[in-house]
Chain A
Amino acid sequence: MQSLSLNRSLREYRRLASDWTLLLGLVVVVVFLAVAIVWPLLKILGVGFSADALALYRKYFSSPVYLRIMWNTVELGLVVGAVGTLLGFLFAYVQVRLDVPLKKFMNLMALLPIISPPFAVATAAIVLFGRGGLITYQLFGIRNNLYGFRGLVLVLSLSLFTVAYLNLKGMMEALDPALDEAATNLGANKWAVFRTVTLPMLIPGIAGSFLLLFVEAIADLANPLVLGGDFTVLASRVYIAISGEYDTLAGAVLSLILLVPSLTVYLVQRYWVSRKSFISVTGKPSGRHQSIRNPLVRWGLFAVVMLISLLILMLYGTVVVGAFTKLFGINFDFTLANFEFVIMGLGSQAMGDTSAMSAISTPIAGLLGMVIAWLVVRKSFAGRAVLDFVAMLGIAVPGTVLGIGYLLAFNAPLKIGNNVLLPALAGGTALAGGWIAIILAYVVRSVPAGLRAGVASLQQIDPAIEEASISLGADSSVTFRKITLPLIRPAFFTGLVYSFARAMTSLSAVIFLATPEAKIMTAQILNEVDAGRFGNAFAYCVILIGLVLAVIGLLYVVVGTSNGVERDLGRAR
């Protein structure tokens, strides 16, 4: 039996091989994943399980200080997961089920974090709500300590809840209104319908959002660095270990400790919770949801969500105003000095480098995502699920962990004997000034979004359409180019937009990879924030947001559709 199935998969591969373009695609994908994900992770595992490392585990797991850090990390993940999911739920519920004004505005505010660079919210929160904050102190005289757990929860929840929002919004829209009607028809009032029908149906979505937020929260590096106070988490410890001591051993060990909960939770989310879903998002619901009429519920929810929307607007407004202000909170004189400093001075190279590296990585990531989605959905070969899983690791593995993996894997040339198999890709002396490693990291981080959007999109397209093309004489690659890609264009567009935004705003995965030749905007922003030059940081953020918006706009013009981008983004995680 064993040999029979082995035989069969061998034959499957031989058949794949007979379509050489398909084989080429598969080989490119496999080589990419092997180099850009598997190899760095193996490197971390290698270092993280070396003899020296075991002593470190003993040390960490017996030290109350480190146990505290681990608990902090988990606690942060749990609370941000809960708060962010609640926020996402409220926004989605108002959007789908309430008939209230300004829904477009609230939707926009919920989507804003996608294109926001790290630090924007944290920094704005400090100047607005910190101890010397414009609102807390100068308006109300409260010395509010934002540093630490509370501040992190606030900032992380506001930055991450978009995931939950898109997830739950998609689900709520797909809920069949007939179910509500049936329940009402059987005598349930609105509250009972919500409690007994709506909520139970959404539980997989809620659980999934919670778990995704957990993973993102514990992986976040930017906010704990700026706002951590005495609340230390694993990600920032990893960062200090590398940047302060260049202690790759400690970095790898802490990374592995961080990797365990994130990967576990991610797997639970992906392979368990998502299977429990009652709702097929693909189905078009019939009928229309009746909106909630109870004025208390309606306007109460509206007020809450509107307030949070205004808070988000205020935070980003502060970023913009702060960029044109001498010293936000102290001296509000208008100035262009921040922009001058950033654009003419230290920022010009970072802007150029980051935009160029993002621009290079975007089409690669977009295309890879679509090709992998296509292979996974349409082609049958052993190892399909593995391919999908490995590609998704790009998002499941925390950025800092990936960054350390890259450091370990690519800082020195890969040699067998005296032959250089792969030259150094990361670091100042690497090939192409370290650009390759950063671009790889950008691609790895962006592929999952395009992949999920592509998979969702492909599953809605009748496979017969592609078979028709094949039956008319087209091989796999022609079919992919002429039929599949045009049909999944919205997903492809989503993948591109997301890739570019993600690359431009990513920090944790690439912060260790920046070199004199490859400067990264977000790392520069970190420097400015850390050094307290908020004006410059704000100017940077404004430029970054502007660049991302401009490219999205251009992509829109060129690819020409934004249909379903939101929906696809929701699925993208």
Chain B
Amino acid sequence: MSEQTETGALRLENVTKIFGQGSSQVRAVDDVSLTIQSGEFVTLLGPSGCGKTTTLRLIAGFEFPTSGRLLLDEKDIANVPPNLRPMAMVFQSYALFPHLNVFENVAYGLRLRKMPEAEIKEAVNIVLHMMNLVGLERRNPNQLSGGQQQRVALARAMVMKPKLLLFDEPLSNLDAKLRTQMRMEIRRLQQRMGITSVYVTHDQMEAMSLSDRVVVMNRGKIEQVGTPEEIYQRPATMFVADFIGRANFVETDVLALDGRLAIVDVYGQKVQLACSPEIRVGQKAYAMIRPEAINLSSRTSNYMAEVKTAVYLGNSVEYEVEIEQNLLKVVDYDPTPGMMFREGSFVSMTFDPERSYLLPK
């Protein structure tokens, strides 16, 4: 298998998918437009029912769009049946063929291409080697561990040298440790092969660690497209802010605006925050403050908050503190041993404006 495979660029133009008829209609994908560069790793991220899987299945051809265009390397593929699309998919359930052994599973697609037996053997062996599956060729899928099954599924897709690799929550059935490990492996392989990849997950950690760009979806629509940093630090909407990591929202007035910096009043103190382009002076807005951006200390200050709950998690401590009838989430990633604040105690609170962001109401 050559390291450099021919790979594709994908464009979705105003794609809409409606399920059901009449009053029971559901707009699963609502006017989605997206461009994916050749070789790029893009993740569709969102809660269940947000349309990410449907979008992936539209790309794969298992569903057909109600309207809109789907272009692979600028060719409209909206009506190409799934088996003729140069893509390979890795399924959440792995979807290994239970009646075929590992080798036959991987060789399946190549056999359909009527590739000579010797070439099939070679190609399969390379992929199996790459995926650390050597020695398991004759096993049946039910004799493999979850991680092994996942690697077979990956090998089966890779061996096809597709223009586009599609992943449908491939790691969600694995335990936490294995998940992390496989995540790295997928990223490594993708980087090495350079295959354009679309990856669906509801796990933000996965999305952040794997992707060149993340597409956050909600209710069939795209909320934001951006690099992992962008969507974490500069979320376009409250939904994104809340979905990617955790966030506190403090209602505030926009006092002044200087380019993409705004002066706002947070609990009586004027601070300068980076802001979304929709922010206008005189409007109400929300200051998004990440829990780790808040600092608690035992000193006395103007910002006194009451500790409502305190949970010790080993490498961190999580608090809920109350200030002006608002409950704020606080994470201390560097707790001083023996210096945990007790529930009911009053603490002084500061936050880092650099790690906060202003969103329109």
The interface of chain A, by Cβ under 8 A from chain B, is 1, 5, 8, 11, 15, 18-19, 462, 464-465, 467-476, 478, 482-483, 486-487
Contact between chains at A19 and B81 (CB < 8 Å): yes
Question: A1 to B98, alpha carbons, bound, how many Å?
Answer: 43
Specify which of A471, A474, A486, A487 is in contact with B88 (CB 8 Å cutoff). A471
Question: A15 to B168, alpha carbons, bound, how many Å?
Answer: 24
- Determine if B62 is an interface residue (Cβ-Cβ < 8 Å): yes
Question: A332 to B298, alpha carbons, bound, how many Å?
Answer: 107
A15 and B156 contact, Cβ closer than 8 Å, known pairs A467-B89, A472-B108, A472-B109: no
A36 → chain B closest CB, angstroms: 30
Contact between chains at A472 and B156 (CB < 8 Å): yes
Residue of B nearest to A466 (CB): B95
Contact between chains at A467 and B64 (CB < 8 Å): no
Contact between chains at A472 and B99 (CB < 8 Å): no
Contact between chains at B97 and A15 (CB < 8 Å): no
Taking each of B83, B99, B112, B113, which has the highest tally of chain A beta carbons within 10 Å of its own beta carbon? B83
Q: What residues of chain B lie closer than 8 Å to A15, measured between beta carbons?
A: 64, 79, 81
Besides A18-B81, A467-B62, 7 more A-B contacts (Cβ < 8 Å) are A1-B22, A5-B21, A8-B21, A19-B81, A465-B96, A470-B82, A471-B83
A23 → chain B closest CB, angstroms: 12
Contact between chains at A462 and B112 (CB < 8 Å): no
Q: What residues of chain B lie closer than 8 Å to A462, measured between beta carbons?
A: 93, 95
Contact between chains at A473 and B99 (CB < 8 Å): no
Question: A19 to B62, alpha carbons, bound, how many Å?
Answer: 13
Q: What residues of chain B lie closer than 8 Å to A1, measured between beta carbons?
A: 22
Question: A486 to B89, alpha carbons, bound, how many Å?
Answer: 22
B129 → chain A closest CB, angstroms: 20
Specify which of B79, B112, B168 is in contact with A474 (CB 8 Å cutoff). B112
Contact between chains at A487 and B99 (CB < 8 Å): yes
A468 and B160 contact, Cβ closer than 8 Å, known pairs A5-B21, A474-B83: no
Contact between chains at B64 and A469 (CB < 8 Å): no
Specify which of B22, B60, B92 is in contact with A471 (CB 8 Å cutoff). B60
Specify which of A11, A464, A465 is in contact with B64 (CB 8 Å cutoff). A11
Contact between chains at A468 and B98 (CB < 8 Å): no
A-B contact pairs, 27 of them (CB 8 A): A5-B22, A8-B21, A8-B66, A11-B64, A15-B64, A15-B81, A462-B95, A465-B97, A467-B82, A468-B89, A468-B96, A468-B153, A469-B97, A470-B62, A470-B83, A471-B60, A471-B88, A471-B89, A472-B88, A472-B160, A473-B83, A473-B84, A474-B109, A474-B112, A483-B97, A486-B99, A487-B99
Question: A478 to B81, alpha carbons, bound, how many Å?
Answer: 14
B292 → chain A closest CB, angstroms: 38
Specify which of A465, A473, A476 is in contact with B95 (CB 8 Å cutoff). A465
Contact between chains at B82 and A468 (CB < 8 Å): no
Contact between chains at A464 and B93 (CB < 8 Å): yes
A473 and B97 contact, Cβ closer than 8 Å, known pairs A5-B21, A15-B64, A467-B89: no
Contact between chains at A467 and B81 (CB < 8 Å): no
Contact between chains at A478 and B66 (CB < 8 Å): no
Contact between chains at B21 and A471 (CB < 8 Å): no
Q: What residues of chain A lie closer than 8 Å to B21, measured between beta carbons?
A: 5, 8
Specify which of B22, B62, B66, B160 is in contact with A473 (CB 8 Å cutoff). B160
Contact between chains at A467 and B91 (CB < 8 Å): yes
Question: A475 to B160, alpha carbons, bound, how many Å?
Answer: 16
Q: What residues of chain A lie closer than 8 Å to B93, measured between beta carbons?
A: 462, 464-465
Question: A483 to B95, alpha carbons, bound, how many Å?
Answer: 11
B6 → chain A closest CB, angstroms: 16
B243 → chain A closest CB, angstroms: 26
Chain B contributes a number of interface residues (CB within 8 A of A) equal to 33
Question: A170 to B95, alpha carbons, bound, how many Å?
Answer: 28
Residue of A nearest to B21 (CB): A5
Question: A474 to B153, alpha carbons, bound, how many Å?
Answer: 16
Question: A467 to B112, alpha carbons, bound, how many Å?
Answer: 15
Q: What residues of chain A lie closer than 8 Å to B81, measured between beta carbons?
A: 15, 18-19, 475
B99 → chain A closest CB, angstroms: 5
- Determine if B330 is an interface residue (Cβ-Cβ < 8 Å): no
Question: A475 to B85, alpha carbons, bound, how many Å?
Answer: 11
Question: A243 to B78, alpha carbons, bound, how many Å?
Answer: 60
B131 → chain A closest CB, angstroms: 16
Those of B324-359 within 8 Å (CB) of chain A: none
Q: What residues of chain B lie closer than 8 Å to A5, measured between beta carbons?
A: 21-22
- Determine if B171 is an interface residue (Cβ-Cβ < 8 Å): no
Q: What residues of chain B lie closer than 8 Å to A8, measured between beta carbons?
A: 21, 66
B263 → chain A closest CB, angstroms: 51
B36 → chain A closest CB, angstroms: 18
Contact between chains at A18 and B79 (CB < 8 Å): yes
Residue of A nearest to B60 (CB): A471
Contact between chains at B22 and A475 (CB < 8 Å): no
Q: What residues of chain B lie closer than 8 Å to A19, measured between beta carbons?
A: 81
Contact between chains at B113 and A487 (CB < 8 Å): no
Question: A469 to B79, alpha carbons, bound, how many Å?
Answer: 19
- Determine if B216 is an interface residue (Cβ-Cβ < 8 Å): no
Contact between chains at B98 and A487 (CB < 8 Å): yes
Contact between chains at B89 and A478 (CB < 8 Å): no
Question: A470 to B66, alpha carbons, bound, how many Å?
Answer: 21
Contact between chains at B112 and A473 (CB < 8 Å): yes
Residue of B nearest to A468 (CB): B95
Q: What residues of chain B lie closer than 8 Å to A476, measured between beta carbons?
A: 83
Question: A59 to B21, alpha carbons, bound, how many Å?
Answer: 47
Question: A462 to B153, alpha carbons, bound, how many Å?
Answer: 15
A114 → chain B closest CB, angstroms: 28
Taking each of A464, A472, A476, which has the highest tally of chain B beta carbons within 10 Å of its own beta carbon? A472
Those of B87-141 within 8 Å (CB) of chain A: 87-89, 91-93, 95-99, 108-109, 112-113
Q: What residues of chain A lie closer than 8 Å to B79, measured between beta carbons?
A: 15, 18
Residue of A nearest to B19 (CB): A380
Question: A467 to B166, alpha carbons, bound, how many Å?
Answer: 12
Residue of A nearest to B63 (CB): A380
A517 → chain B closest CB, angstroms: 43
Residue of B nearest to A461 (CB): B98
Contact between chains at A468 and B91 (CB < 8 Å): yes
